[in-house]
Amino acid sequence: MKMTFRAALLGGLIILLGAAVAPTVMARKDLIYDPGPLKATDSLLKVRVGEQAPDFTLKSLSGKMVSLSDYRGKNTVVVSFIPAAWTPACSDQWPGYNIAQDVFRKHNAVILGISTDNIPTLHAWTSQMGGLWFPVLSDFWPHGEAAAKYGVLRSDGMADRTIIIVDKKGKIRYIALHNINKRPPLEEIIHELEKIR
Amino acid sequence: MRIPIIMAGMGMVALVLFSAASTLEARDDHLRALNALTLYAPEAAGDREYLGLDDEKEKISLGQIDAEILIVEIFSMYCPHCQKHAPDANKLFRVLDSRKDIRNKVKMIGIGVGNSRYEVGIFKDKYSSPFPMFDDRDSVALSTISGIYTPHYFALRIREGSIHEIVYSKSGAFPDAEAFLDMIVKESGIK
């Protein structure tokens, strides 16, 4: 009787598995969570091109505290605010910058990647990308403080997808508040870096 | 005892049939999408010669490529799996190019889905990719080829200027370039 029940259970399970798994196999994309389309932007910029960039100090994945002002007089800084780890457009954005290191270096530029996620989450997320050459900073606590200084903190606690380019004197040279659902084209950033000598 | 065994058997059959039907449906959708696709052709003279393209054509459909079987790697410059797989993709092309018996019949391209020409150029430079790579600046491929993840490989049979059949379609990297090419050659029946 036990065997009969097990075999019946097995048969039922296989039927259910066939119905549930088959249609989703082709749509699998590793560990990425897709929240669906979100409001394109949900913040009000507090900074303008030509202004001095507000300084911030945040903890990096290495444990070191990193300030924007650390790069004053040394490098152009591309500040890349992204909304959330493990989401589709964000998970595509930084790996692209990762293979363009030579192009950023050619323009004496560094990237500071900032997210309001906490350090353990950012560690797990960037590790499965294979690591990143630029500092990844957590703006988790006080939550979104750096994003709020620039006016790119959304009402849901994430940062809007924003690129801010700061020159060696600490002046803002470029701001682009992008649609949260789309990845900004790399050439836009490089084109702006070319203008800064 | 017999009835549950029959139920288990029916379950297996249902699973196989359902999977096969889903695969066939996806292939039909992909065949339509790939035939409707027009892309900006690579500018390099060597690439254009390899693909047998008319000098004047800025945009082409895949069916216009001079090949009997076209291996297509769907990738993205932003995809870390594609970056990691790039040396193997390059090896596949080199193995194919070394096969004098089939290299004029079986050709290989990449399509950088949702990537601009600049972004595809960054990828091609970084990994010294030796095969032609198309960009997808208008995100047409990205929006019409559904239900796959990158890298994805298609092997397409081309006849009379259009894609006649999808010989092979699978998401994910392959472990061995030579075995992968042998499998494509076998599946396509090309000699």
Window 23-52 of B: residues touching A by CB (8 A cutoff) are 26
Q: Are residues B22 and A92, on separate chains, in Cβ contact within 8 Å?
A: no
- Of the candidates A102, A77, A24, the residue with the CA atom closest to the CA atom of residue A193: A77
How far apart (Å, rounded) are the C-alpha atoms in residues A93 and A81? 11
Kindly report, residue by residue over A58-83, the tens digit of the pLDDT.
999 999 999 999 999 999 999 999 99
State how far residue A165 is from chain B, nearest Cα, in angstroms: 20
CB A13 within 8 A of CB A131: no
Kindly tell me if the per-residue pLDDT of A142 is higher than 90. Answer: yes
Kindly report, residue by residue over A20-55, the tens digit of the pLDDT.
333 222 233 567 778 888 888 899 999 999 999 999
A46: left (phi over 0), alpha (psi -120 to 50) or beta: alpha
- State residue A17's pLDDT score: 40
Number of H helices and number of E strands within chain B? Answer: 6, 7
CA-derived radius of gyration, chain B: 18
Examine the residue annotation and report whether A90 is marked as an active-site residue of this protein. Answer: yes
Chain A contacts of B4, Cβ < 8 Å?
4-8, 10-11
Determine how β-strand A109-115 pairs with β-strand A136-138: parallel
Q: How confident is the model at residue A3 (pLDDT cuts 50, 70, 90)?
A: very low
With 0-12 CB in 10 A as exposed, 13-18 as middle and 19+ as buried, what is A37?
A: exposed
Kindly report, residue by residue over A158-167, the tens digit of the pLDDT.
999 999 999 9
Kindly tell me if the per-residue pLDDT of B81 is higher than 60. Answer: yes
CB A194 within 8 A of CB B125: no
Say if pTM beats, i.e. exceeds, 0.90: no
**Percent above pLDDT 70 for chain B:** 86
3-state secondary structure of B76: coil
Chain B residue with Cα closest to A182: B114
Q: How confident is the model at residue A86 (pLDDT cuts 50, 70, 90)?
A: confident
Calculate the average pLDDT of chain A: 86
What's A153's DSSP letter? B
User: Which of the residue ranges A34-38, A138-142, B148-152 would you say has the lowest mean pLDDT?
Assistant: A34-38
> Tokens standing for B101?
């018996």
ipTM: 0.75
CB A85 within 8 A of CB A46: no
Chain A residue with Cα closest to B118: A187
How far apart (Å, rounded) are the C-alpha atoms in residues A68 and A66? 7
Best mutation target among B1, B3, B7 (most A Cβ atoms within 10 Å) is: B7
Q: Are residues B149 and A14, on separate chains, in Cβ contact within 8 Å?
A: no
- The reply to whether B143 touches chain A by the CB within 8 Å rule is no
3-state secondary structure of A11: helix
C-alpha separations of B111 from A74, A163, B176 in Å: 38, 27, 21
Given A66, A90, A163, A193, the catalytic residue: A90
